[in-house]
């Protein structure tokens, strides 16, 4: 590998990507990062207007981003969305970011509806997308699938047990798919963010008591930034991560490894 090859380690020019839940937060950040490194990106959301507006904001910045609408819990709708996105050719990068946490509290208090919504969006849709996208990816010579997990899936949690259960399953799904699709040159990895500065975290970020307690549990003593998660996605999607598969990469400032001091 010469200097030119090293310079292309993170180059995604000519790659085609789909990011579910891509209209805001981490999904939007990942889509922006992939497009900034040259990828042709589709962002997907159930909110058609919001998704189209998000894509337009990125196009104004000179990025190649398009919007597509789909309910990821509707298998037929998801299949139609994938068919549209892959009409011009198979995907090289699939980022499964759509997720919900409808239940807060002890896991045994979750309703059947909470369970169904959490598992349908956070887990079932990811498995469906793998079945719809990876065969075409394999036929084109390979690619990268990235599943968004969470540190909630790595430890017990008083408030987000059901969400954490789905995210632990996401990490295991990444390992399984990595074994199944590795011979086809498809890499599958998970990313587990910790406490990240997003709009959804706004109330917690403005809560001094929570921040003091949480930052004491985080060796870097600060929340993470969306760009710091998006950068890992670029690594996993690019040649720089070409020998990484079946991993759950934790991006949490050290929260899960600390003794809290």
| DSSP type of residue 208 | H
Q: Of 225, 155, 221, 153, whose CA–CA distance to 192 is shortest?
A: 153
User: Which one is catalytic: 70, 96, 125, 163?
Assistant: 163
Residue 163 a catalytic site member: yes
Give the side-chain half-sphere CA count within 13 A for 224.
24
Q: Are 165 and 179 in contact (CB under 8 A)?
A: no
What is the rounded CA–CA span in Å between residue 128 and residue 193?
23
Burial 99-128 (b: 16+ CB within 10 A, else e): bebebeeebeebeeebbebbbbbbbbbbbb
Active site residues per annotation? 163
């Amino acid at each position: 590998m010469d200097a030119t090859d090293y310079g292309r380690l993170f180059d995604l020019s000519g790659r085609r990507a789909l990011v579910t839940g891509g209209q805001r937060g981490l999904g939007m950040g990942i889509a922006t990062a992939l497009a900034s490194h040259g990828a042709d990106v589709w962002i997907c959301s159930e909110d058609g207007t919001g998704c189209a507006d998000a894509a337009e904001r990125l196009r104004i910045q000179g990025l190649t981003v398009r919007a597509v609408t789909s309910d990821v819990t509707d298998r037929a709708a998801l299949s139609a969305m994938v068919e549209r996105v892959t009409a011009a050719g198979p995907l090289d990068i699939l980022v499964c970011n759509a997720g919900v946490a409808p239940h807060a509290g002890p896991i045994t208090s979750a309703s059947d509806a909470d369970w169904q919504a959490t598992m349908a969006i956070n887990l079932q849709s990811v498995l469906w997308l793998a079945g719809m996208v990876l065969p075409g990816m394999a036929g084109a010579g390979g690619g990268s699938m990235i599943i968004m997990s969470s540190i909630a899936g790595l430890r017990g949690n008083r408030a987000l047990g059901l969400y954490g259960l789905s995210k632990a399953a996401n990490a295991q799904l990444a390992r399984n798919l990595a074994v199944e699709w590795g011979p086809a040159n498809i890499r599958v990895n998970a990313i587990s963010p910790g406490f990240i500065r997003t709009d959804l975290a706004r109330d917690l970020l403005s809560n001094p008591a929570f921040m003091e307690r949480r930052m004491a549990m985080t060796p870097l003593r600060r929340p993470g930034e969306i760009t710091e998660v998006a950068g890992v996605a670029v690594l996993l999607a690019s040649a720089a991560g070409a020998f990484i598969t079946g991993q759950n990469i934790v991006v949490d400032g050290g929260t899960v490894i600390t003794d809290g001091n």
